[in-house]
Chain A
Amino acid sequence: SQELEQSPQSLIVQEGKNLTINCTSSKTLYGLYWYKQKYGEGLIFLMMLQKGGEEKSHEKITAKLDEKKQQSSLHITASQPSHAGIYLCGADGGRGSQGNLIFGKGTKLSVKP
């Protein structure tokens, strides 16, 4: 079965600093999702990547999917306290896996003002 490993598990950065979160899959990624979660709340959709080498940006967050489609990274530029939360990557298992997203354990981000 497919597994996603996220690193680091937690991260504390000073406001204004850049940071990167990685997500590595044990199998080829057919679709990779990035979500953000505030403690005890629902998941907020950030981005979806499907093609090898694809890169998407929204405000100060950029996500990339490598050419081999087994690793993705999420980069935040000039972090702000509003970026704090848990970042989760989720993988679509491909044909026959309807609705079944496999998630990593998450990366907890704290931003110190």
Chain B
Amino acid sequence: KAGVTQTPRYLIKTRGQQVTLSCSPISGHRSVSWYQQTPGQGLQFLFEYFSETQRNKGNFPGRFSGRQFSNSRSEMNVSTLELGDSALYLCASSLRAAWDGYTFGSGTRLTVV
């Protein structure tokens, strides 16, 4: 079966712009989580969606937002980009995010210049 698909793979944006990243989970998976990975902070949890509802949120500013559609696909948005937002953004899908296991996508590499 198809894995977790993230688009685009690479993005270059200018400071102050906004960006939208997309994640298509494995068919049948209803939970989608987002993570930010940087060399300094490692992998940090952004938020998790299940059946179009945000169930959990990490410690990130309000510039980071997300949503999930009825087909379980998810998008995350970052507004007013800062240089420090440059990172690899990963999404993970799971059946229910309750010890079901998490499958990660290949990530979107965002560079803010």
Residues of A within 8 A of B (CB): 30-31, 33, 35, 40-45, 48, 50, 88, 90, 92, 96-106
Contact = CB atoms under 8 A, between A and B. Distances in A.
B88 interface: yes
A50 B35 CA distance: 22
A45 B58 CA distance: 22
Given A42-B104, A50-B99, A92-B99, A103 B109 contact: no
A45 B42 contact: no
A106 B38 CA distance: 12
B94 interface: yes
A101 B101 CA distance: 10
5 contacts: A97-B56, A99-B94, A99-B97, A100-B58, A102-B45
Contacts of B101: 33, 45, 48
A40 B58 contact: no
- Chain B, interface residues (CB within 8 Å), range: 20 to 34
A41 B43 contact: no
A31 B99 CA distance: 7
A100 B109 contact: no
A104 B31 CA distance: 22
Residue from A42, A96, A97, A102 having most chain B Cβ neighbours under 10 A:
A42
Contacts of B109: 40
A98 B102 contact: no
